């Protein structure tokens, strides 16, 4: 086995390179989720919240943007301008151009930098914790390390789509409607009195 093949066998999209995370790179999905839940520690996941009011009342929200630019653009175009002031967006660096015309707080990551243990990931983890949101929005696709960030945010309401399997990381599961895209649907929850 040459060095390149060995690197491929032990690389991970969830953990930083290096010997420290070698064993964790081999975990199956259920064990990987349990490790991230354990790492998050005991959280007050049973606090009550009112949905969709938690998104409409001007409280702080962490929004994990989908990596698909078309979907992210729809969300940004549909969100009310006043809500952008209270949202911390977590977005892939490829979306920087989408945010260039918006006055929004954004924390960017790269494919390598979004892995647990990377400096970029540590910076985003610190930002999410100190932002102290009342809600997290995570439309997907689900990555264990980002689900972990949603859980450690301290937000009582952690919203996703068809995400019952992602509990306790996400605790509010919305179902897609046939008449409206998930991107438009989630953006409209930020507007008082406009659902669906």
Q: State pLDDT tens for residues 81-117.
A: 999 999 999 999 999 999 998 889 999 999 888 899 9
Nearest to 153 by CA among 59, 71, 74: 59
Q: How far apart are CA 17 and CA 22, in angstroms?
A: 8
* pLDDT-based confidence at residue 26 (cuts at 50, 70, 90): confident
Contact 6, 20 (CB under 8 A): no
Does the bond joining 141 to the residue before it have cis omega, within 30 degrees of 0?
A: yes
Nearest to 62 by CA among 141, 116, 126: 126
pLDDT at residue number 97? 93
Q: State pLDDT tens for residues 65-76.
A: 999 999 999 999
Does the bond joining 52 to the residue before it have cis omega, within 30 degrees of 0?
A: yes
pLDDT at 192 over 90: no
pLDDT at 193 over 60: no
| CA trace torsion 128, 171, 196, 137 (10° rounding) | 10
pLDDT at 128 over 90: yes
Burial 27-42 (b: 16+ CB within 10 A, else e): beeeebbebbbeebee
Whole-structure pTM over 0.75, yes or no? yes
Answer CATH for 53-188 from 1.10.3720.10, 3.40.50.2000, 2.60.40.790, 1.10.10.60: 3.40.50.2000
pLDDT at 157 over 70: yes
* Token digits of residue 24: 């964790």
Q: What are the start and end residues of each CATH 3.40.50.2000 domain in the chain?
A: 53-188
The most distant pair of C-alpha atoms in the chain lies apart, rounded to whole Å, by 61
Q: State pLDDT tens for residues 129-156.
A: 999 999 999 998 889 999 999 999 999 9
Rg (CA), the chain: 17
Cβ count near 174 (within 10 Å): 19
pLDDT at 47 over 80: no
Q: Which helix (H) or strand (E) holds 131?
A: helix 119-131
Q: State pLDDT tens for residues 159-187.
A: 999 998 999 999 999 988 888 888 888 88
């Amino acid at each position: 086995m040459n060095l390149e093949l060995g690197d491929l066998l032990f690389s991970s999209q969830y953990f930083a390179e290096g010997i420290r995370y070698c064993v964790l790179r081999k975990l199956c999905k259920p064990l990987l989720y349990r490790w991230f839940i354990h790492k998050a520690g005991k959280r007050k996941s049973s606090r009550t919240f009112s949905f969709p009011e938690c998104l409409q009342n001007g409280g702080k929200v962490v929004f994990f943007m989908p990596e698909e630019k078309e979907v992210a653009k729809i969300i940004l175009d549909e969100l009310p301008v006043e809500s952008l002031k209270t949202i911390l967006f977590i977005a892939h660096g490829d979306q920087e151009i989408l945010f260039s015309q918006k006055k929004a707080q954004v924390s960017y990551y790269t494919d390598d930098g979004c892995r647990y243990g990377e400096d970029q990931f540590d910076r985003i983890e610190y930002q999410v914790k100190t932002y102290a949101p009342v809600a997290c929005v995570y439309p997907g696709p689900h990555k264990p390390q980002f689900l972990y960030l949603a859980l450690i945010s301290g937000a009582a309401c952690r919203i996703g789509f068809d995400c019952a399997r992602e509990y306790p990381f996400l605790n509010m599961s919305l179902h897609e409607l046939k008449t409206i895209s998930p991107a438009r649907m989630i953006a409209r929850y930020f507007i008082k009195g406009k659902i669906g």
